[in-house]
Structure 1
């Protein structure tokens, strides 16, 4: 496992007072085509009960994955879905989306989930929005005889010599996301030699590297593409895996908007303020 960059998640707050851990890079673009990973993990309702009331996006794709608890998604296109443990939800926001994500009333045992942002190529940023979720799909998990449990969420993967498709296809820049759990001392192999970007976010336990180093929960590793052998310590490990093709374009970021020029950001703000994104009201 060759590591190009080592990043650390930081505490942050978003939405209506939701406490999160965040890894983001909108300047150096070391995660290209990915931009950000937010992790929400708490058994205390006060950390997430405010949720994410209606807000806009333009120029990005959002990919949400829930491991525990759930959110209700609503958007101005009319989509209303309960996203629960094991589900994923993808929005290619394109020219504009207004949506909300609010904790489910019956999600009383805490919440653990992720929202991932992907950049979109300049040529696609103003196309119509697209939406997809997995609430009506059943996905297989792939256990191995080496203490690994692989859950493909998006894109295509080569895991333990087998080609596996995730729940969702068509992410920007050939993006792929997977959840991998390793038992104490467990191992897993993936062939990522054909990918331009490979990343790994540890959300639980620790990984051991052949050079003697260990990496722990809350770390994001940008890896050298190739054949990857992952080895957990005696703690075991849980991680999200990312792969894609770098877009390589300069971006300008302001809040929920990611475009390529300052003028495009100003236009996004104007369009939102003048109602061109549509509207969304939460039920009372």
Structure 2
């Protein structure tokens, strides 16, 4: 596994005072088609109890994955869904979505989850929104004999040299996006061939990941670090006594310049101004 770059998530706040750790790049687009990844992880409800009251989006896809606790999602399309531990939710917002995400009252064990933003190609930014979740079905998973477990959250995945491939019910993400949760037991390891993608990233959310860098030096990535990998190198993930949990993001760059302002990501300043005007004039509708 060749690591091209390593970044550390930075503390931030969003919604109604929700504390998060964030990786984002809206300027250089080094993670294209991915724009941002937020991690919420706390046992203290004061860090997330305010949730995310109604707010709009245009021109992006949001992908939410919950590991502990949960949110209730509401949007102007009429979707009212509890998103609980193990669930995935995908919104291709297109021309406009207004939604809210508020903590579930019966989630008593803290909250751990992720929200990922993907850019949309210009030709799709004004299409009708799409909503899908996995609240009524389990995400498919596969184990190898070396203590590695792979859960397909979006797209299709499999271990190298294993003829079995698993496919999530969530397909069609922008930029051919594919997302998975890889957990490694103590001294666990697993190999994935990701050469079909041009963008491959791994976020360490627990434990430590061991690798050798491009100079042949032994390195360790710890929880809260985001790795950009060489997709042309067969990716071998391994850990030692700590074990590890990784969120894997793969895709193909859209390669389009963007302009963004808050929840809107478009391709020109004029399109941003139109998005703001449309929202102010009520064209995004309201949550039911």
TM-score by length of 2: 0.96
SS where residue 46 of structure 2 aligns? helix
Offset of 1:7 from its aligned partner? Answer: 1.1
What is the aligned partner in structure 2 of residue 105 from structure 1?
Answer: 105
For residues 90-147 of structure 1, give each alpha carbon's deviation from its aligned partner in whole angstroms, at most 9, with x where no partner exists: 0000000000000001001100000000000000000000000001112332121101
SS where residue 159 of structure 1 aligns? coil
How many correspondences in the alignment?
281
C-alpha distance in structure 2 between counterparts of 1:280 and 1:193, whole Å? 42
Offset of 1:167 from its aligned partner? Answer: 3.4
What is the aligned partner in structure 1 of residue 256 from structure 2?
Answer: 249
C-alpha distance in structure 1 between counterparts of 2:156 and 2:186, whole Å? 26
Offset of 1:155 from its aligned partner? Answer: 0.6
SS where residue 255 of structure 2 aligns? coil
Offset of 1:16 from its aligned partner? Answer: 0.3
What are the residue-to-residue correspondences of 1:186-265 with 2, within 5 Å?
Answer: 186-210=188-212, 211-226=217-232, 227-265=234-272
What is the aligned partner in structure 2 of residue 60 from structure 1?
Answer: 60
C-alpha distance in structure 2 between counterparts of 1:127 and 1:196, whole Å? 26
SS where residue 19 of structure 2 aligns? strand
Q: Decide whether the 8 Å contact of 2:140 with 2:168 is kept in 1.
A: no
Offset of 1:233 from its aligned partner? Answer: 2.5
Offset of 1:280 from its aligned partner? Answer: 2.0
For residues 159-217 of structure 1, give each alpha carbon's deviation from its aligned partner in whole angstroms, at most 9, with x where no partner exists: 23332212311111110000000011110110101111100000011111133111111
**Residue 267 (1) aligns with residue 269 (2):** no
C-alpha distance in structure 2 between counterparts of 1:204 and 1:240, whole Å? 10
Q: Decide whether the 8 Å contact of 1:158 with 1:192 is kept in 2.
A: no
Q: Decide whether the 8 Å contact of 2:60 with 2:117 is kept in 1.
A: yes
What is the aligned partner in structure 2 of residue 183 from structure 1?
Answer: 185
Structure 2 portions without partners, runs of 5+: none
**Residue 50 (1) aligns with residue 57 (2):** no
Superposition CA RMSD, Å: 1.0
C-alpha distance in structure 2 between counterparts of 1:12 and 1:167, whole Å? 32
Structure 1 portions without partners, runs of 5+: none
Mean CA deviation greater in 150-159 or 136-145: 136-145
Q: Decide whether the 8 Å contact of 2:140 with 2:166 is kept in 1.
A: no
C-alpha distance in structure 1 between counterparts of 2:30 and 2:240, whole Å? 27
